[in-house]
Structure 1
């Protein structure tokens, strides 16, 4: 019955309705990680690990386990989406992550938590599955706007997740917050099942049910078809570098903020001064404010990507955003106050927030029809690989050249990536045609 319902021709605004409920699924799915992960060190202590260095070690292991399994499995899930449908894969990501987060709430040993985090990475991949579903059910000329809107779900979840998680953990308890989060996943999965339809776009007639409806092909064949598109490969490499820029600086951000200490670095309080106003706050609070500013400006940028891409081109938008971000990053090494540091990172978030949805639009437009799942599975793998390698690279660079070197190095990498993208990536025909028709009187 579900297959028959999904095969009906779409209403004119069906892709917009899909986008609304897919956005909800993405927000809940990505909020889940931000909802509970900030409190993983405290949960590890509850599981019996008391030594501070061992708590830090196991916290890092749980994060790496999720990133490793997602890197390995995302292309497989993406190819299966092209064979059996993107909506089932999106539901699999929501249900799988929800069940495993719920089980984490009853874990009794740290090794159980590590295994559950690994399995969560293997069965999750919410953003990749959602992007593939949006790309497959949205008219190509609207896909940039849709993916930009979808990206705001991720940025909003990153911004609000720790706040909401802290409120729930403080009032219900850490274990109970896992269960609460699992229930949110369940609600999102029900909404997606009931209201999202995977249908043809642009008025195409419905295809027969079964594998052919979603593109068919073998798992390896689907991935090979995507990799065979040189344009898509270039953009996937660019996407890896863009995600790397966010994870590369993450290990040193708190250390930079601690350097603005009200007294001496390391005393736990930092100084924020506006004209006519001064405030000493805990460094944890200052770090949270910086992340909130980045989330806010990134969300604004994601909403602006489509109008800007339609006006000047998505390739030019991504290249320009990467170039400006690469120029801004080294300036952070010379920030001498928390206010300057915060404002610079707000500017970084504004341009960085345009890069990922713009790049996703280029991937969607350059991917062969019916292979969106494979393409965004590879995109999810690029993100997870950046989550694995970025902190290691940032920590290594900091150890050799100091904290300031981290911001300079990633800035140089982004400027080089922008130059390479300008030379190697072309504007997809579907976007170029839409831009000319929009500009015509």
Structure 2
């Protein structure tokens, strides 16, 4: 048995948490390519109703995740982060298996809501690593960890589509459940945490959590920044394939080209996140955040004027390289500005804002494109991110005090 005096092997925890985030990201995205087909298989055949129900079952997971995240964050601060990882992985595995047995759209909708309620592996993994890693390595560690979920989300749709084509839709849910069960077992065996449970009476209330922060307004601005990042990412998702078709015409391989253009930002983020995270550890995550937000604006504007899919793909690759640094930079700033005692709830509140962005981003994109055309979506998104540049800069400069980095 490892002596108590021996420090926790945070690097091993980081690698195992990375694998867990990868498997979780893959598990969630495995079913994305055929979600509307599964809704149709459950009896929704009218085209208009199919669109409505497909949107509902997609969004409801994020909606309920936003509601549940603060509760799980409080429990993580009371009981520990590892047990939250185990709870999330096992709970999602059971729900995924039940989805494969769903007999009607009502059951499926309830299970998608339950999936949101029981989720939270990635934010709890972030909280676990953030509270164990040396502060001067936080940017690199959280940047590296972010590539796990991104990598899983990239490969998941490819594998899910292949499995659905060859073995049927229902089997993919059972395979997804198995993947999450493997994630549970790995976390149980290999992740180490020494956490002294806190009595409920000793827990801080939500108001006391924010009162304990030295820069509560800055932390709130980081939550809003997270939401805007997801709004900007999600606003383009509903119109991407249609925009590619407008640029390329009715090409035979439209799905392949659209899929590649959808995937390239994630590929770029895989490459950039650890490197920019390490750079942030040297020059400050606030500088990385502001610079990459500004770069995002400069890349979004020309997307409204591209003439070919490949021009769009190139710009989206560069955008992904910039975006790969944003959420890790926000998470690093959060851990710099809160104590380990409340880290679980701070990260869970941040996850709630992220989920709100995940829900509202596609709705905004769909509304703008329906009213003003596809190209207007990029202009509106650029304006939203530009607002975030100035808002984040103002918050970082004019908070109660400047960010104090570990080496200052």
1:105 to 87, 100, 103: 100
2:197 to 191, 210, 221: 210
Distance 2:294 2:339 in 1: 29
2:227·2:353 contact (CA, 8 Å) conserved in 1?
yes
Residues 308-362 of structure 1 show CA distances to partners (whole Å, capped at 9, x for unaligned) of 2123221010100001101211110100001101101111111111111111111
CA RMSD of aligned residues (A): 2.1
2:217·2:395 contact (CA, 8 Å) conserved in 1?
no
1:117 to 99, 112, 117: 112
In the alignment of these two chains, the number of paired residues is 403
Whether 1:325 and 2:312 are equivalent positions in the alignment is no
Match of 1:242 in 2: 229
Match of 1:11 in 2: 7
Match of 1:276 in 2: none
1:32·1:181 contact (CA, 8 Å) conserved in 2?
yes
1:136·1:370 contact (CA, 8 Å) conserved in 2?
no
Structure 1 gaps of 5+ residues are 200-206, 270-280, 434-441
Give the secondary structure class of the aligned counterpart of 1:425.
helix
Q: 1:249 to 1:188 in 2, by over 3 A?
A: same
Pairing 1:224-373 to 2, within 5 Å after superposition = 224-225=210-211, 229-262=216-249, 267=250, 269=251, 281-373=252-344
For residue 33 of structure 1, report the CA deviation from its aligned partner.
1.2
1:422 to 385, 393, 399: 393
Structure 2 gaps of 5+ residues are none
Distance 1:35 1:366 in 2: 36
Match of 1:162 in 2: 157
For residue 431 of structure 1, report the CA deviation from its aligned partner.
4.0
1:239·1:379 contact (CA, 8 Å) conserved in 2?
yes
Residues 118-155 of structure 1 show CA distances to partners (whole Å, capped at 9, x for unaligned) of 00001102211111111122222222111001000121
Give the secondary structure class of the aligned counterpart of 1:210.
coil
Give the secondary structure class of the aligned counterpart of 1:430.
coil
Q: 1:298 to 1:94 in 2, by over 3 A?
A: same
Whether 1:405 and 2:376 are equivalent positions in the alignment is yes
Distance 2:111 2:177 in 1: 14
Distance 1:431 1:260 in 2: 48
2:57·2:109 contact (CA, 8 Å) conserved in 1?
yes
For residue 260 of structure 1, report the CA deviation from its aligned partner.
2.2
1:222·1:371 contact (CA, 8 Å) conserved in 2?
no
Match of 1:67 in 2: 62
Residues 230-265 of structure 1 show CA distances to partners (whole Å, capped at 9, x for unaligned) of 221121111111111101111121121111234xxx
For residue 22 of structure 1, report the CA deviation from its aligned partner.
0.7
1:174 to 169, 178, 182: 169
Give the secondary structure class of the aligned counterpart of 2:325.
helix
Match of 1:374 in 2: 345
Q: 1:127 to 1:386 in 2, by over 3 A?
A: same
Give the secondary structure class of the aligned counterpart of 1:8.
coil
2:21·2:121 contact (CA, 8 Å) conserved in 1?
yes
TM-score, length-scaled by structure 1: 0.87
Pairing 1:185-196 to 2, within 5 Å after superposition = 185-196=180-191
Match of 1:204 in 2: none
Match of 1:202 in 2: none
For residue 222 of structure 1, report the CA deviation from its aligned partner.
6.1
Residues 139-193 of structure 1 show CA distances to partners (whole Å, capped at 9, x for unaligned) of 2222211100100012111211101112222232211110011011011111111
Distance 2:86 2:218 in 1: 30
